[in-house]
Amino acid sequence: MYLLLAEVINIVKCSKSAVAARLLLSATLVFSLLVWSVNAAEDAAQASAETLVFGVVPQQAASTLAKAWGPLLKELSQNAKVDLRFATAPDIPTFEARVAKGEYDVAYMNPHHYAQFHQSQGYQALVKEKDKKLKGIIVVAKDASFQSLDDLAGETIAFPAPGAFAASMIPRASLKQRNIEFKPQYVGSHDSVYLAVSQGLFNAGGGVGRTFNNLPIETQSKLRILWTTPKYTPHAIAVHPRVSAHTRKILIAELVALSQSEFGRSLLNNLGFKRLEPAVDSDWDDVRSLELDQLSVPIIDETPLQEKR
Whether 210 and 297 share a structural domain: yes
Whether 21 and 142 share a structural domain: no
Predicted pLDDT at 215: 94
Whether 205 and 284 share a structural domain: no
Please state, in angstroms and rounded to a whole number, the distance separating the CA atoms of residues 156 and 250.
Answer: 46
**pLDDT tens digits along 24-79:** 545 455 455 554 554 544 444 444 579 999 999 998 889 999 999 999 999 999 99
Whether 212 and 303 share a structural domain: yes
Mean pLDDT within 133-145:
95
**pLDDT tens digits along 177-221:** 899 999 999 998 999 999 999 999 999 999 999 899 989 999 999
Confidence of residue 18 (pLDDT cuts 50, 70, 90): low
Whether 111 and 143 share a structural domain: no
Confidence of residue 280 (pLDDT cuts 50, 70, 90): very high
Question: How many domains in the chain?
Answer: 3
Whether 300 and 189 share a structural domain: yes
- Written as one letter, the residue type at 153 is A
Domain containing 31: what range? 2-46
Whether 144 and 212 share a structural domain: yes
End-to-end CA distance of the chain: 64
Which is more confident, 3 or 259? 259
Q: Is the pLDDT of residue 284 over 70?
A: yes
Whether 179 and 105 share a structural domain: no
Please state, in angstroms and rounded to a whole number, the distance separating the CA atoms of residues 106 and 120.
Answer: 15
Whether 126 and 263 share a structural domain: yes
Whether 208 and 296 share a structural domain: yes
Whether 242 and 162 share a structural domain: no
Give percent of the chain with pLDDT exceeding 70.
Answer: 79
Whether 245 and 228 share a structural domain: no
Predicted pLDDT at 289: 84
**pLDDT tens digits along 140-182:** 999 999 999 999 999 999 999 998 899 999 999 889 889 999 9
Q: What is the CATH number of the domain that holds 114?
A: 3.40.190.10
